[in-house]
Amino acid sequence: MLHAQNKKLCFVLITLAQLLSWQSAFAQDDGHSHPGSGNGFIDLATLGMSGGSNHTGHDGLVGGRTAITTEAVVAYNTLRDFVGLKHATIDEIGAWAFANTLTNNTQAWGNDQQGVGIWYAMQGAKVGWMADGTFDPQVIADIERTARLGSAKDVMAMVVEYGHEGFADYLVKNKMQEHFINTLKMEPHYAGWMHDRCHGWLSIEGVAIAHDVNHLTVLSHDQMQPFMNDTWDWPQWPALDVTHERVLEYFQSMVVLGDPLGFHLENLGEPNTPDDPGTPDDPGEPNDPSDPPGEPDNGPYIAGNISVEVGGELWWDGFTAAITVHNDGNTKLRNWHFRFLSTHRVIGSPWGCRVRTTDLGNGYFEHRVRGADWAKSLPVGCTVHVGFIGNQGNPLGNYGLLDGAKLFDGGWIGK
C-alpha cells in the first residue's frame, strides 16, 4: 500500500511539473503535438514559432485545420515515388527553396533549412498531385475543405477525377491515403513559417511574387475560396493574375525540385502504375535486406543510479528519440545525466533535458544528456519521459522504430 501511494505521489508531482513547464516551453505551439507525443511526426512549431501572420496558433486551427508536421514529408515523398523520383530529405527541399529565392533571407540560419523544407514539402504534396489537364485552383479549396470536414471516400473520389492517372490507386495500394489526406488538412499559416521564413520574393509573370502564389492553399474562413489573404477576409489579389498553367508549374517545381519558373509536367518521369508500385521503403526494414532487423534494443542502459530506455520513430533523414529515465537509487536525483557516442546529430530544442554535443572529429559525436526544467529532479522510484529530434548520421531508414542500438551506434558510456 505504501509503495502504491509513493508511486501515485511521484506521478502527481512529475505530471504537475510537466504541465507547468509545457505552459512555457511549449506555449509556442499552443499545446499541439510535439516530438514524443506518440505519433512519430515532428510539429513545425518545435523548430520555431512566430506571429508573422494571423492564425498561426491553436486559435487558428478551426474547421478541421491542423498543425503542420513531418507527416507532410511522407505524403510529398509518396508523390515523388509515384512519378519515379527518389525520396528527398527536408534539408534537400529547404536548400532548393533557399537557392531559388523562395525564402525571406538568402542564407539559412539555425534550423531554417529543415523548417522551410517541411513547409514546402507540404505545399508540393497539397497541389502536385493534380494533372495539368484538370487543374483548377477551386479544386484545391474543395479538396482541402473535404479533407477537413468531409469523408476520406469523397477526397479519394476527387483524386481520381482531378489527379494524375493512377495516383489514387497508388495511394490505396501503398496505404498512403491517410498521410495524403492529413497533409491536405494542414493550415499553411501554422507556426508563422509562411510569412517569416517562406515569404519568397521571386517574381512570377511580372504580376506577383512566389509568396502570393503560395497563398493558393490558404482558404477563406468558410473554406470555400482559394488564394485568400492571411486575414481570410479578401483574396491575395496579385496571385489571381497569374495564369493557371504557371501556378501549377510552380507547385510542380516543388515536387521535382526544379526551376520554379520552368516547365515540369512533361518531365516527371514514368509514374509507377498500381500494378508496379516500385519499391518504396518498407517501414521497419533495415537498409541492408540481408541483415534481419531482430528484436529492438530498448534497454535499459545503466548510468549510475538511473536506467535509460530508448524508443521513438524514424523519418526521412531524421528521427524522434523518446527517452525514459528511471531513478533506481535510494536518494532523490537533482541533476541526473548520461553520455553516449553516435554518428547522429541532435537538432532543435530537446524537451525535459539539455544535450551538450562534442564533435570527436572521426565521424562520431559525444552527446551528454542532462535533466532540465520539469525533469531536472527525479525522486526515488520515479520516471520521467524526455527526448529530442535529430538528423541521421549512419542511415537508419525512412520508417520504423528507433531503439538504443540505433541511437547509441558509437557506444554507450553512461556516466
- Provide the phi-psi class of 412: left if phi over 0, else alpha when psi is between -120 and 50, else beta: beta
Residue 6 burial by Cβ neighbours in a 10 Å radius (0-12, 13-18, 19+):
middle
φ, ψ of residue 319 to 5 degrees: the values are: -165, 160
Residue 291 burial by Cβ neighbours in a 10 Å radius (0-12, 13-18, 19+):
exposed
Q: What is the DSSP letter of 101?
A: T
Cβ contacts of residue 2 below 8 Å, gap of 6+? none
State residue 110's pLDDT score: 85
Domains and CATH numbers, the chain: 41-256 (no CATH), 301-414 (2.60.40.290)
d(CA 388, CA 319): 9
State residue 299's pLDDT score: 77
The candidate with the shortest Cα–Cα distance to 183, out of 41, 27, 30, 55, is 41
The candidate with the shortest Cα–Cα distance to 188, out of 94, 88, 96, 66, is 66
Question: What end-to-end distance do the CA atoms of the chain give, in Å?
Answer: 34
The candidate with the shortest Cα–Cα distance to 395, out of 300, 297, 317, is 317
Q: Are 209 and 260 in contact (CB under 8 A)?
A: no
Q: Are 330 and 380 in contact (CB under 8 A)?
A: yes
Entry pTM: 0.61
CA geometry: angle 387, 123, 113, nearest 5 deg: 50
Q: Which residues of the chain have pLDDT under 50?
A: 1-9, 11-38, 269-270, 273-293
State residue 41's pLDDT score: 87
- Strands of 187-305, DSSP E: 203-204, 208-209, 301-303
Extract the C-alpha cell encoding 274.
498500381
**CA separation, residue 85 to residues 113, 268, 306 (Å):** 21, 8, 46
